[in-house]
Amino acid sequence: MVWSERFDGQFDVCYAKKPGEMGLGSDDNPAFRITNTPYESTEPHIAIDPVSEIIYVVWVEEFPDAGDDGIYEAVHIGKSVLYTATENGTFWTIPIQESNVPGAVKNFEVNSSEGTVRFGNGEPGSRPPAGGGKPLATYRYVFDTDRDGIKDSDEFLGILGNVTLWWNSDTDGDGMPDRMEFVYGFNPVISDIRGPYYKSFLEILFQNSDFDRDSISFAGETACNFPVTSGYANVLTGGSVSYRFWPMTAYSATLNLDLQIRRQGILYTPPPTTANYTVSATVNAGPAGTFTFSQSGNALEWNHVIVEFGSFSVLADTQTDVQLSITIEQPSSNGFRTMGVFSVMIHSTVGSAQFSYKEGRDFQPGASLASALTDNYLTCGDPSRPDLFLEVDTISGHNPTPDVFSEAINAFSDAGIILHYRLDETSISPGEATTTDSDGDGATTLNDCTAPAELQNFLATHRSTASPYDRYLHVIFVNNVKAQTTSGCQNLYGIAMSADLATDLTHSGVLVADDQLDSVISTATVAQQRLKVLIHEVGHALGASHEKANGLYNACVDGGGGTDTLNGFNVMGQDGLSTAAGVNDRILGVGNTARCKGTVSFIGMPRFSIESINQFDLTNKLSVNTGRNIDLLGNYV
């Protein structure tokens, strides 16, 4: 032990000799290690809630240094506060990350599970107190240890009607979280599985279950009310369109097409008439063979119809091309019809582990094919696969080209996630920031160093909060971003920002610094740079840490040596933009053919390694607890 603190004669807070280890103990209980990370745990403070008698410990852990290129990605202000709690010293809960912080902890108080942590050591970014003195920053937290939406003290006191366990979201163990039981009128402390209302209980439980763990319930996903923006192939009288896939394993597949017939130039007299159509699909799966399917019919108008063809065989890492040939026999009156191809998916006929998803702009059109860049419509989630919805805003003049989103969809598809996005605000004023324009283009800089919380406030100002947008991760393409890092105030390519309060989701999200990318001297295109930073930062929002050595060993990634190595082909590696070697590794995958490592040469677009994919937690994405795997688990790659 190198340091200890005594609190009211009850507890010791002690440090082990290894950096990053911290244990808690008391006179009656043996020491319990609550951290085991590669970086230092510092500044512990203890507070007892006078209302619930729950004891909280907060401490700060250091983030790793940024890259050696002088430009920083997803590196926060250097420290993150975490807490753990216990009742009467009998046990300690798993540590939970709450926020990024600007300095040393000076004071910690808790009342009714609402905590106040004061920081201040003169570092840039701290607010000066009234009357002068050393700069201080005051952060407030609502402690909800089991993340069930009920704060700890309310569960302890039974404010909602029953006393429930504040460290367990399902007190009676019947599968329905406590808060849901209160909402639907069940008893959270008595199992309802065999109760008199078990049928209603099971139906409500099923509808509200999140089977694919993407934070969206079964009922929510099947309501099909998610507004999204999509590129699509728009076929007028006929034409062909091709899509290319790279399956990760060999499997027996089916082909799913999301199609729509719509009327153009509508005339309401004479009465509407139908159009005849034929859709033929030819799948060329390399050595696995060529397969052809066809469907014909007639329609007045469709609102998105899923057509399924199958089955056929695909091989691992083998180019698989799908060509759709479409003909439409137009009616003699009442306008003409077009067919939109919104998405194409191949997936396994056994289970749902393997699938590849393409949206409509990822095509090679035929001569008679017209293309539309964007279209807004309502879509469903997939209850059997994780869905990730993005709300995307942009500063005026910084709208990414459609291929950025198309390739992002492909990258997350390879990670087992269906990505959707909605373009919302696309002309935000470039002057919405505090740091003045430096190069005459009217673009100011979002600067957390001189205006604390400016990044979070900017995200909150432009976030759509109405349902179902409260399920979207917020992304904004801005001009420039500066924030406090372990090496001082730095320009960033991008950053994933967490909110101060775990229950406050509006202040969280991802910022991509588009002007900063424009200034990079790189062999990558601007579209590739935007793609790399976008999926890198969203990866952080899902819980993936930076690519590092000396983390968890994976034989496929690290070889047979038994030791974790630095994997240059993982998009979660830092930089990858300003040097030719970084571009070749993380964006193009030059020399790599192992999909488990991330980017491969035969695809030539950024990808996640299997180590980063294993860190993803979509149930936690909205609070953007970046660095969680570094700080809490040691599972960094």
Contact 320, 255 (CB under 8 A): no
CA count, 13 A, side-chain hemisphere, 393: 23
Per-residue confidence (pLDDT) for residue 253, from 0 to 100: 92
205 found inside a domain: no
Final residue of a domain: which of 110, 142, 174? 142
Give the lowest-confidence range in 9-18, 168-177, 462-471, 599-608: 9-18
Q: What is the average pLDDT value for the chain, to the nearest integer?
A: 77
Query: Has residue 628 got a pLDDT over 70?
Result: no
Per-residue confidence (pLDDT) for residue 442, from 0 to 100: 62
Cβ-based neighbours of 122, under 8 Å, separated by 6 or more: 103, 134, 135
Give the lowest-confidence range in 83-87, 127-131, 179-183, 428-432: 127-131
Query: Has residue 541 got a pLDDT over 70?
Result: yes
- Same domain for 368 and 463, yes or no, is no
Using one digit for the tens of pLDDT, what is the confidence trace for 196-232? 777 788 888 888 888 888 888 888 898 888 888 887 7
Report the alpha-carbon distance of residue 131 to residue 479 in Å, rounded: 35
Residue of 400, 583, 624 lying closest to 498 (CA atoms) = 624
547 found inside a domain: yes
Q: Please, which pLDDT band fits residue 72 given cuts at 50, 70 and 90?
A: very low
- Same domain for 432 and 531, yes or no, is yes
Per-residue confidence (pLDDT) for residue 546, from 0 to 100: 80
Share of the chain above pLDDT 70, in %: 71
- Same domain for 365 and 505, yes or no, is no
- Same domain for 465 and 583, yes or no, is yes
Report CA-CA distances (Å) from 394 to 147, 400, 417, 514.
Answer: 32, 8, 24, 9
Q: What residues are paired with 423 via a beta bridge?
A: 392
Report the alpha-carbon distance of residue 77 to residue 102 in Å, rounded: 6
161 found inside a domain: no
pTM: 0.82
- Same domain for 43 and 105, yes or no, is yes
Most confidently predicted of 80-89, 303-312, 623-632: 303-312
- Same domain for 238 and 354, yes or no, is yes
Cβ-based neighbours of 544, under 8 Å, separated by 6 or more: 572, 608, 612, 613, 615, 616, 629, 637
Longest dimension (CA), the chain: 90
Contact 78, 62 (CB under 8 A): yes
Q: Is the Cα torsion angle 353, 356, 360, 361 positive or negative in sign?
A: positive
186 found inside a domain: no
Residues making up the chain, counted from first to last? 637
184 found inside a domain: no
Which of the two residues, 107 and 422, has the higher pLDDT score? Answer: 422
Domain tally for the chain? 3
476 found inside a domain: yes
- Same domain for 364 and 426, yes or no, is no
Q: Please, which pLDDT band fits residue 96 given cuts at 50, 70 and 90?
A: low
Per-residue confidence (pLDDT) for residue 495, from 0 to 100: 86
For residue 468, give its domain range.
Answer: 421-633
Report the CATH number at residue 370: 2.60.120
404 found inside a domain: no
Contact 364, 242 (CB under 8 A): yes
258-262 mean pLDDT: 82
Per-residue confidence (pLDDT) for residue 629, from 0 to 100: 38
- Same domain for 470 and 541, yes or no, is yes
Per-residue confidence (pLDDT) for residue 624, from 0 to 100: 47
CA 8 to chain centre: 42
Using one digit for the tens of pLDDT, what is the confidence trace for 487-528? 667 788 888 877 655 456 788 889 998 878 766 766 788 889
- Same domain for 449 and 549, yes or no, is yes
Contact 587, 524 (CB under 8 A): yes
Using one digit for the tens of pLDDT, what is the confidence trace for 351-365? 656 788 887 767 666
- Same domain for 127 and 271, yes or no, is no
Cβ-based neighbours of 183, under 8 Å, separated by 6 or more: none
- Same domain for 541 and 425, yes or no, is yes
495-528: string of b/e by CB count within 10 Å (b at 16+)?
A: bbbbbbbbebbbbbbbbbbbbbbeeeebebeeeb
Per-residue confidence (pLDDT) for residue 172, from 0 to 100: 92
Final residue of a domain: which of 329, 352, 379? 379
- Same domain for 356 and 502, yes or no, is no
208 found inside a domain: no
Query: Has residue 347 got a pLDDT over 70?
Result: yes
Final residue of a domain: which of 104, 120, 142? 142
467-488 mean pLDDT: 82
Which of the two residues, 497 and 571, has the higher pLDDT score? Answer: 571
